[in-house]
Structure 1
Amino acid sequence: MDLNRKLAILADAAKYDASCASSGGVRRDSRDGRGMGSNEGMGICHSYAPDGRCISLLKILLTNVCLYDCKYCVNRASSNVERARFTVQEVVDLTLDFYRRNCIEGLFLSSGIIRSADYTMEQLVAVARELREVHDFRGYIHLKTIPEASPELLAEAGRHADRLSVNVELPSAQGLAALAPEKDGSTIRRAMGRLRLHIDEAGEARRAQQAAPPRSLPGAAPRRAPAPAFAAAGQSTQMIVGADGADDASILVTSAQLYGSYRLRRVYYSAFSPIPDASSALPPRKPPLLREHRLYQADWLMRFYGFEAGEITTEGGMLSLDRDPKLAWALAHPEHFPVELHRAPREMLLRVPGLGVKAVERLLAARRVRQLRLDDLARLRVPVTRVLPFVALPGHRPAAGAAARAAAPAAPAAQACLF
């Protein structure tokens, strides 16, 4: 098959995998005249780091041929789609060629399962190994790992890749058994546990080396080579939303457990998309895309705002589609408001709709030196209109029901800016 046709098929097949952000990796470049590539410049891609950098990644599958028959997957064994497969050398050449054209800054590589989990993982690792060791490629590499592969292969993958990801696929064991019977939840989590162990060990070795006395001090040991990195950007996972009957509460509880147990960098949520010749076990329609967006907002609340998974959703176990989850929580708990801006602890300020982490830090710094007043909010770049119904400060106290009245006309467009 022509290489361009392979690229068209396997780039399109990779679009369903959302977990390709590239934040957190070790910064590398070739400005010292050695090696090739960089993982920190600006590009023309579709992945964004938390600091706003756009990271350009060549996002492809090694092959869309797969032994598994997961009902929600367009590349499942029984699917009637055109199949293609890259060789290891073709992926390496494509990555280097796209880099030289200044189209990408890294590679996101996944694959269907061919022959066996170990064989597939060997092929993925071979791509990363050749890029790093033969071509001294210093751009970002994200490998999708095969949980059933041997621990030795997973360990080698982490030595070459910036980030590894193992998809849990679905939030419950029941959903996985019904829709992906060849996959096992305990195997997936066991692979995640191994990756966390390697990441933790590499981090401890790096910290110990940094704490060692400088070489110039008398009696200091000779300078050692840098501690080897292992998936410096951590690991991530992805859950499909809406393919099974799991509600938002179940999804968020699963996410909280994954963050706590495996110290994941991100859990990605991918709204189920109907596929050709779909199984009757799948819903006939995709869930609202806004549901996926609300899950990302709720995930942010758990990771950065101190919310517990069980307190974000409504009594029915779902997130409101009309309001972002932080605003919905505030309206459901009027007993906590208004918040006294000049006295409330940081934990409570973070629960005020309109106040993000940076805004709260500015407020805390300002109130150490003076009493906050209404005029100070705009100078501190606080969204005054959104915040005022929920806070009190000298010269302002909201009237009863002000928060509910302010939130009533909320339109979907107004929900794009979270906090």
Structure 2
Amino acid sequence: MNEKTLDKLKILSDAAKYDVSCASSGTTRRPVKDGIGTAAGWGICHSFTPDGRCVSLFKILMTNHCIYDCAYCINRRSNDVKRTAFTPEELADLTIEFYRRNYIEGLFLSSGIIRNPDYTMEQMLRVVKLLRDVHRFNGYIHMKSIPGASQELVAQAGLYADRMSVNLEIPSEGNLKLLAPEKDYGSVFAPMRYIQQGMLESAEDRKKFRSAPRFVPAGQSTQVIIGATPDNDKQILTLASHLYKRPSFKRVYYSGYIPINKSDSRLPVLAHPPLVRENRLYQADWLLRFYQFSVNEIVDDTHPDLDLDIDPKMGWALRHPEAFPIDINTAPYELILRIPGIGVKSAKLIVASRRYGRLNFSQLKKIGVVMKRAQYFIACRDLPMQTVNELKPEYVRRKVARQRGKKESDLLQLSFDWGE
């Protein structure tokens, strides 16, 4: 790799780090004759998978030139940063070179906006076409759809990419107009509709013809910046809930605002990114998607923001002590899911195991229940602990908060506790 290409790579890969919309692929591509690369449903991601594999995407901007002047963006037009760009040919060659060296498993392609949205989209489309048609690359490709891009270009891109995303960035349109005057929700939601329409049409075509091409088989996602505006968690989760009702939508990613442009008076003054809040939103998002919670159960007008000291499920349980204790041996699956310390897998094991006898404290621990939290909310054989009603919610909250570490530095080290 020559020095010029290396300089471009350093600049554009660093500029891409603020986009967190990297995830498991959720799709499987069949091998193609004379092709290279694979995409498996258990995932390309920019992290570690649950089974311990470290997998990676080549995460890159095509260019950091941009015609927009968004207050929260490092690549905004008015910023004095070093600008550069890859040609489609350079980027395609670089991706293949990295893949052959076993550096990457797939591509995450985004870009600043140059000239206009359609021109930028055309350049990005050339990259994925070169990879698929010329290099015969069959690996995972996540491609950003540019807000304001035409339906024709989105329709073409959807036939080449595994996943597409359009970033909302700001949770409310009024605040988006304040921080990014050249953008509006119309230009963002239009490509989302085009992707959804293409996916639905593709599903119908594949019912009739098995050989019909797949359109964005891994679905679409978006990113929301947390903490750059005064939008509360209820507004953010309500937006996410509406998006999840769309048949094509897979994930909403929450990105704690990083104070890059500190001189802009429109932005808040923060010492650190709000990572604890970001963590809590991911936990709440998981409750929406897998635990049958509604937004109003997690946050409401009285409590519009998530508690940073305890996870959202624990917060709901402490606000509703009348719902507890729940008898592990008789309660339906839906109620067991609502007990803090019990995840989806544990709840299913409880329902399956209790058919053979009543469960006790030690058996629940073996199943995987986190008894330090669950003990206050359940009734089971030989449970020696007191319930939340006997101890009062305030006491349980203090106890749990101490267990999890009340300092922000401790909280930042916690896992997401998806299953709890």
The answer, yes or no, to whether TM exceeds 0.5 is yes
- Which residue does 1:151 correspond to in 2? 151
The alpha-carbon deviation at position 263 of structure 1 amounts to 3.9
Please give the alpha-carbon distance, in whole angstroms, between the structure 1 residues aligned to 2:81 and 2:180.
19
- Which residue does 2:166 correspond to in 1? 166
- Which residue does 1:293 correspond to in 2? 279
**Counterpart check, 1:359 vs 2:346:** yes
**Counterpart check, 1:401 vs 2:391:** yes
Letter in 2 for 1:401: L
The alpha-carbon deviation at position 287 of structure 1 amounts to 4.4
Q: Is the 8 A contact 1:62 1:110 kept in 2?
A: yes
Q: List alignment gaps of at least 5 residues for structure 2.
A: none
- Which residue does 1:6 correspond to in 2? 8
**Counterpart check, 1:378 vs 2:378:** no
Q: Is the 8 A contact 1:192 1:262 kept in 2?
A: no
TM-score (normalised: structure 1): 0.90
Q: Is the 8 A contact 2:143 2:165 kept in 1?
A: yes
TM-score (normalised: structure 2): 0.90
**Counterpart check, 1:284 vs 2:283:** no
Q: Is the 8 A contact 2:45 2:57 kept in 1?
A: yes
Please give the alpha-carbon distance, in whole angstroms, between the structure 2 residues aligned to 1:178 and 1:386.
43
Q: Is the 8 A contact 1:43 1:103 kept in 2?
A: no
Matches for 1:221-236 after TM superposition, within 5 Å: 226-236=211-221
Q: Is the 8 A contact 1:302 1:308 kept in 2?
A: yes
Q: Could you report, residue by residue, the CA deviation over 1:197-224 in whole angstroms, capped at 9, with x for unpaired residues? A: 1112222333x25xxxxxxxxxxxxxx6
**Counterpart check, 1:344 vs 2:335:** no
Q: Is the 8 A contact 2:199 2:248 kept in 1?
A: no
Please give the alpha-carbon distance, in whole angstroms, between the structure 2 residues aligned to 1:376 and 1:265.
35
From 23, 26, 39, give the equivalent of 1:24.
Answer: 26
Please give the alpha-carbon distance, in whole angstroms, between the structure 2 residues aligned to 1:333 and 1:14.
43
- Which residue does 1:219 correspond to in 2? none
Q: Is the 8 A contact 1:42 1:53 kept in 2?
A: no
Letter in 1 for 2:19: D
The alpha-carbon deviation at position 386 of structure 1 amounts to 2.6
- Which residue does 1:328 correspond to in 2? 315
Matches for 1:3-402 after TM superposition, within 5 Å: 3-29=5-31, 34-40=34-40, 46-47=46-47, 54-206=54-206, 208-209=207-208, 226-261=211-246, 263-276=248-261, 278-285=263-270, 286-313=272-299, 315-396=302-383, 398-399=385-386, 400-401=390-391
Q: Is the 8 A contact 1:374 1:395 kept in 2?
A: yes
The alpha-carbon deviation at position 417 of structure 1 amounts to 5.2
Compared CA separation, residues 391 and 259, structure 1 to 2 (3 A): same
Instruction: Give the aligned length.
Output: 402
Letter in 2 for 1:146: I
Compared CA separation, residues 55 and 177, structure 1 to 2 (3 A): same
Compared CA separation, residues 42 and 305, structure 1 to 2 (3 A): closer
Compared CA separation, residues 159 and 333, structure 1 to 2 (3 A): same
Compared CA separation, residues 284 and 79, structure 1 to 2 (3 A): same
Letter in 2 for 1:24: G
Compared CA separation, residues 225 and 326, structure 1 to 2 (3 A): closer
Matches for 1:406-417 after TM superposition, within 5 Å: 406-412=399-405, 413=410, 415-416=414-415
Compared CA separation, residues 277 and 351, structure 1 to 2 (3 A): closer
Identity %: 49
Q: Is the 8 A contact 1:159 1:231 kept in 2?
A: yes
SS of corresponding position for 1:366: helix
Q: List alignment gaps of at least 5 residues for structure 1.
A: 210-223
Q: Is the 8 A contact 2:60 2:108 kept in 1?
A: yes
Letter in 1 for 2:400: A
Q: Is the 8 A contact 1:248 1:319 kept in 2?
A: yes
Letter in 2 for 1:307: F
Please give the alpha-carbon distance, in whole angstroms, between the structure 1 residues aligned to 2:83 and 2:30.
35
Please give the alpha-carbon distance, in whole angstroms, between the structure 2 residues aligned to 1:335 and 1:176.
41
Q: Is the 8 A contact 2:219 2:249 kept in 1?
A: yes
SS of corresponding position for 2:375: helix
SS of corresponding position for 1:168: coil
